[in-house]
Structure 1
Amino acid sequence: MKIFARSLPWAAALLPATFAQNATITLTPAATGFDSDNAALIYASSPILLANDGSAADGGFRTFSTSNSTNSTIFTERSHERSGRTKIAIPVYDVGGRDVIFNIPSPNSVIRAYDVATGSEIAGSQKYQLGDWSVARNWRSQTSGENYVFLFGKKMVVQFLVRGSSDDAQILEVQTFSIPIEGETAAVFPNGQVFFSGGEGDTLYSFQAAESTTAPEVRTVGEDLKIEGLGAYHSNSSDYLLIAHDDMIDVYDASFSPKGSASLEGIADLSIGGDVSVLQSVSANYPSGAIAFAFEGEDDTGIATGSLESTLTSLGIQANINFDPHTKLCGYCVSPISDACSNNGFSLVNSTCSCLAGFAGADCSQITCQNDCSGHGSCDGPNVCKCEAGWAGPDCSFVAVKAKYETEANGGDGDDPAIWIHATKPDQSRIITTTKSQGGEGFGVFDLEGKLLQHFIAQEPNNVDIIYGLPVGNHSVDLAYAACRGDNTLCLVEVTSDGSLKNITGGTQTLPEDYEPYGSCTYLSPKTKKQYLFVNNKKAEYLQYELSATANGTLQTSLVRNFTGGSGGQVEGCVADEAAGYIFLGEEPSGIWRYEAEPDASNEGFQFAKVGDDGLHADVEGLTLVTAKNDTGGFIMVSSQGISAYLVYERAPPHKYVTTFTIVDNEEKGIDHVTNTDGLAAVANKLNADFPYGLVVTHDDANELAEGGTSAEASFKLTSLVDVLGEERAKALGY
């Protein structure tokens, strides 16, 4: 392990940590039968267990209780709020005299606050915050007693002020600032030291929370760690950081010196699902306090709890069973949020105001919006735009498009689609989709109205592309190609003349040992007419294979090239411009790259779109190409998962940005909007009356149901290309 002395002021004398396994925590599956990422033990007269529900069908959050007069460690469900599939549900204490649950579901990105005692939503608390959020943590200022929440997403953090009265609650954005990773695990000390890492990350970062609109400095605490969850314990003399991984919790003191580790026992085949929540109060069930976290085990999933009795002593930590987050640590609290700044900003030492996001003016009394709502809407609140018809997004800069159809739900975790064009009957063309999870794994085949025609089992395919007319023996065939994660192979299946799928000899091609595929795409050389397959892994290692067939019609591949794509960050989507001899790669955290696609070409790439420019957000996911019939015109489209939208660039270099669009609710047809979008595919072919200039198919991660909740299975939206590009651009493609 590397500890960086420059990173934190108290790290100067640190040595590499060594741990003694000197404590044991016996776990109990306290609440099971649902999928969760994070848990929290809420301080109350009798402890309340809070857990997010990450499943599609029942998504939202659940609360559980146990009798304080018994020794039971099994919690009974007391409420289930089906707000939509979510990762975020955390307690915030003493907001206007009551405890609240801060929740933001993925399907609609609307933050809400719920009363812990009653379970009801609190008036005035709703705030739209578009993004793909992974974890949130609360910090209560020791000088003012104000509550702040830090919401972590794709390489960004949003800081909120959470305040209220006995009648309502307000969630106001303080600021948004950048971090080097997608924060997926986090913990906070009372002094405002915020620690965070990526999921299963190896680098620990921190920043100092403050009542300020100035972005904090993000520092590296340590590297070469193994982090699956973070937590904190607050004794009377020091704070301790908990780092959970495998079946172990490593403990560090406030100077990041190791105190020891505790092994986790009692659950077979334990996999830690998220951060560690700590309860530092006495109950009949937990006389010395407890921990809780989401887990997966051999027999079940849900929330595990464990008593801290004897654990703290074994680790040399002074127990503090009187910690209470309701208690204001400031004897005489003075808030920098004052009447002089209209209660919408921080009063600075020189009597000037530093306004919260969405407020302006010398006294922060003016309400403002991003980009003045781009001229396509009106400012309806602090950074709240009311968009005109045809526009969407936080600043009304997204073209709002309604899907004409959506596919029937199929498979638990969909990803990427492809469009197969019928050779003689365009209206009989098919949409082929992938399911990359074990639930419903394989390919789905749909017609142009989204009706499921076939489910073809394959080993967790991810991206899918179509190959037309590959010579096989004495005839030619169309193929669907994907990288299959289930068995680490290249998957090829035949697309028959009516668009259905069937096996083909040689359809499973092995990859090098220990190479785990992630994304894929195809390329047909205009020079040699040879067919190539590209595949990548999470380390951005690209392999290029030549695809051919033996004399007896068996498919075969041969490796012809390998290179590292982008800057080495996680990659997935790719698409080839065959006429130009290019392949475009999506690097999830950083942007889009262009490479030459011939096997003997240079391995140096060119980045033409960067995250942060033209509204492109991480994660950069699917890529598709729409070509013009007679020239080099056309467009590259990319899905930006963090904002559930799609950016369009010119096909021809230098690939100028054109527009951004998103799929919104089609209330007339009962088709919901797109969230956390992954793959997409588009063609400019005239298919039928619904798609006269072409079709765009986009993945929808959480399909909202008319009766409430979300579908347990994925769907894809079918949108007319003319609605995306406009009639002039669509007609100019010339098909």
Structure 2
Amino acid sequence: MLPALLLSACTTTAAGTGAETEAARPRYPATDIPAEAETVPVGTGDADAADDPAIWRNAANPAASLLLGTDKKAGLYVYGLDGTVRDFSPAGALNNTDLREVRLADGSTRILVGASDRTDRTEPRIALFSLDGATGKLTVLGSDSFLKPGHAPAEAYGFCMGAPLAAGELARAYVVLKDGTVAESRLVENGGRIVPQHLRDVKFATQSEGCVVDDVWKTLYVAEEDVGIWKVPLSGAALTAQPFAKVGAADGLVDDVEGLAIARKANGHTWLVASSQGDNAYALFDAETGKPAGRFRVEGGAIGGTSDTDGIEVVLGDFGPAFPEGVFMAQDGNNAPKAQNFKLLSWRSIRTAMGIR
């Protein structure tokens, strides 16, 4: 259970995103934490366009790390930690994105970026890119369908990547279809290309989107928007969902439950962060015990806060003087009068404000 403070919720009116209408939702208390930086707005103005971020940490030069973010109407951005645009790939309607460093068959390494490609709303695809860590430039590797021919029309929506689970694969990719199906594929080298090969599915009853993989514990987390968060162990033969957190005061989640992110400290302790979009907040969970650990909002300061957040990401570690313990990145659904963008917080600020170790 959350502390008593969090259970004494009031009711307010919060706007959803996209085609959703305004509806009365609870607003649970949360700690306000100011944003410390923001990205340049996405190119698509006057629309729900920015969606999901990813973060690459440059271990050799942490301050030169890179941020990625989708404009789901147009393509994929690369930003520096100062929020300026380093590159943009006009790759179409890319909704969610993630990345992994992979080792190819020739022994070289590559920063592999993937995204759910919903350019064709009936044929889900995975768009793949190579990211140059030195220049910040993206190279398009292709966009491939991964379901078997003859499958029912489906729209790609959420996306996340995980470490390989078997020999001969570079990574695992998870596409959350808009009907609640999560399709798992392995990413492999084939004929000089990296391509997805579909393996298995897990199905949720209603619309889902946000997902994240805990590589250490080999667990997939999925946000079923109006229901809550599920965890799916990946080591078994079949994918079976187990409840992790529910919409409501006890777990501090207000629908829609959107982006998910894993924060792992060097000592191995793991936190799961979720976008509680319905009341413009972020819920923090101890991933090892499943217990809620508090809530925060991005509010205050000169930059402005966030609202209606879809995608989030957090990576811990040294990112230079501005972000000495890690970076939290959140889509801002209302950056008026400018187009939507992404806000950045230092993990140290979050950790200190939330009183976690």
| TM-score (normalizing by structure 2) | 0.86
1:597 CA drift (Å): 1.9
Measured against aligned partners, the alpha-carbon deviations of 1:277-334 in whole angstroms (never above 9, x if no partner) come to xxxxxxxxxxxxxxxxxxxxxxxxxxxxxxxxxxxxxxxxxxxxxxxxxxxxxxxxxx
Shift of 1:615: 2.4
**How much has 1:726 moved relative to structure 2?**
1.4
Return closer, same or farther for 1:548/1:423 CA change in 2, 3 Å cut-off. Answer: farther
The equivalent residue for 2:325 is 693
Contact 1:525 1:581 in 2 (8 A): no
Aligned to 1:663: 298
Q: How far has the Cα of 1:527 moved from its partner?
A: 6.4
Aligned position for 2:15? 132
Structure 1 residues 408 and 430 mapped into 2: Cα distance closer, same or farther (>3 Å)?
Answer: same
Match of 1:593, SS state, is strand
Matches within 5 A, 1:549-564: 549-550=189-190, 553-564=192-203
Q: Whole-Å Cα distance in 2 between the matches of residues 602 and 546 of structure 1?
A: 15
How many residues are paired up? Answer: 331
**8 A Cα contact 2:52 2:97, kept in partner:** yes
Q: Report whether the alignment pairs 1:723 with 2:345.
A: no
Which of 176, 184, 209 is equivalent to 1:536?
Answer: 176
Q: What's 2:33 paired with?
A: 401
Q: Is this contact kept in 2: 1:472–1:553, CA < 8 A?
A: no
Q: Post-superposition shift, 1:630?
A: 3.4
| 1:637 and 2:276 matched | no
- Tell me what 1:649 maps to: 285
- What's the counterpart of residue 424 of structure 1? 60
Pick the aligned partner of 1:454 from 72, 79, 87.
Answer: 87
Note the alpha carbon deviations across 1:500-555, whole angstroms, 9 max, x for none.
233354x21114352211111111146658411111211111111110113x5311
Deviation at 1:577, TM superposition (A): 0.6
| Helix, strand or coil at the partner of 1:623 | strand
Gaps of 5+ in 1: 1-127, 135-150, 159-175, 177-393, 705-709
Name the SS for the 2:223 alignment partner. strand
Q: Distance in 2 between matches of 1:691 and 1:716?
A: 16
Whose radius of gyration is greater, 1 or 2?
Answer: 1
Between the aligned partners of 1:472 and 1:717, the Cα distance in structure 2 is 37
Are 1:479 and 2:105 matched, yes or no? no
Question: 1:520 aligned to 159, 176, 194, which one?
Answer: 159
| Alpha-carbon distance change, 556 to 657 in structure 1, aligned in 2, over 3 angstroms | same
For the pair 1:628 / 2:242, whether they are aligned, the reply is no
The Cα of 1:559 is off from its aligned counterpart by 1.1
1:585 matched to 2:218: no
Q: Check whether the contact 2:16–2:22 (CA below 8 A) recurs between aligned residues.
A: yes
Measured after TM superposition, the shift of residue 423 of structure 1 is 3.5
Name 1:604's counterpart in structure 2. Answer: 240
What secondary structure does 1:677 align onto?
coil
1:560-571 pair list within 5 angstroms: 560-565=199-204, 568-571=205-208
Distance 1:527 1:511 in 2: 18
Secondary structure class of the residue paired with 1:719: strand
SS in structure 2 of the partner of residue 724 of structure 1: helix
Aligned to 1:725, the other structure's residue is in SS state helix
Distance (Å, rounded) in 2 between the aligned partners of 1:462 and 1:597? 24
In the alignment, structure 1 residue 443 sits paired with structure 2 residue 76: yes
Q: Does 1:672 align with 2:308?
A: no
* CA spacing shift, 1:495–1:511, aligned 2, 3 Å: same
C-alpha distance in 1 between matches for 2:105 and 2:144? 16
CA distance in 2, matches of 1:616, 1:728: 17
- The structure showing larger relative contact order (alpha-carbon pairs under 8 Å, at least 6 residues apart) is 2
Partner SS for 1:503? strand
* CA displacement, residues 545-595 of structure 1 (integer Å, 9 cap, x when unaligned): 110113x53112211111213xx1100010001110100000000100000
Q: Distance in 1 between matches of 2:307 and 2:194?
A: 38
Q: Secondary structure at the match of 1:726?
A: helix
Q: CA RMSD in A?
A: 2.3
Larger CA deviation: 688-697 vs 492-501: 492-501
Aligned to 1:617: 254
Tell me how far apart the structure 1 counterparts of residues 64 and 75 of structure 2 sit (CA, whole Å).
22
Partner in structure 2 of residue 290 of structure 1? none
> Where does residue 500 of structure 1 map in the other structure?
136
CA displacement, residues 248-268 of structure 1 (integer Å, 9 cap, x when unaligned): xxxxxxxxxxxxxxxxxxxxx
CA distance 1:666–1:495, change in 2 (3 Å) = same
Is the partner of 2:119 in helix, strand or coil?
coil
Q: Deviations over 1:190-211 (max 9, x none)?
A: xxxxxxxxxxxxxxxxxxxxxx
* Whole-angstrom distance in 1 between the partners of 2:143 and 2:103: 16
CA contact (8 A) 1:416 1:699 kept: yes
Whole-Å Cα distance in 1 between the matches of residues 166 and 113 of structure 2? 23
Q: Is the 8 A contact 2:41 2:341 kept in 1?
A: yes
Residue-by-residue CA offset, 1:418-452 (whole Å, 9 max, x unaligned): 00111411110011000112xxx111111111111
Task: Give % identity.
Answer: 26
Counterpart-to-counterpart distance in 2, 1:655 and 1:534: 22
After superposition, what is the alpha-carbon deviation per residue over 1:681-706, rounded to whole angstroms, capped at 9, x for unaligned? 001111111111111000001113xx
Distance 1:473 1:516 in 2: 35
> In 1, distance between residues paired with 2:192 and 2:16?
48
Q: CA deviation at 1:132?
A: 2.0
Counterpart position of 2:314 = 682
Is the contact between residue 406 and residue 715 of structure 1 (CA under 8 Å) also seen in structure 2? yes
Partner of 1:491: 127
CA distance in structure 2 between the partners assigned to 1:503 and 1:703 by the alignment: 29
Report the counterpart of residue 190 of structure 1 in structure 2.
none
Look up the SS of the partner of 1:427 in the other structure: helix
Q: Residues 727 and 675 (structure 1 numbering): CA distance in 2 closer, same or farther, change over 3 Å? A: closer
Match runs of 1:341-352 below 5 Å: none
Amino acid at match of 2:329: V
Distance in 1, matches of 2:135 and 2:312, equals 19
Deviations 1:373-399 (A, max 9, x none): xxxxxxxxxxxxxxxxxxxxx56x311
Distance 1:541 1:587 in 2: 10
Asked if 2 retains the 8 angstrom alpha-carbon contact of 1:477 and 1:494, the reply is yes
Partner deviation per Cα, 1:450-486 (whole Å, 9 max, x = no partner): 1112111112111111110241545221111110111
**Equivalent AA in structure 2 for residue 561 of structure 1:** R
SS of the residue 1:534 aligns to: strand
Q: Report if the CA contact (8 A) 2:118-2:156 is conserved.
A: yes
Give the superposition deviation at 1:729. Answer: 6.2
Taking the aligned partners of 2:86 and 2:140, their CA distance within structure 1 comes to: 20
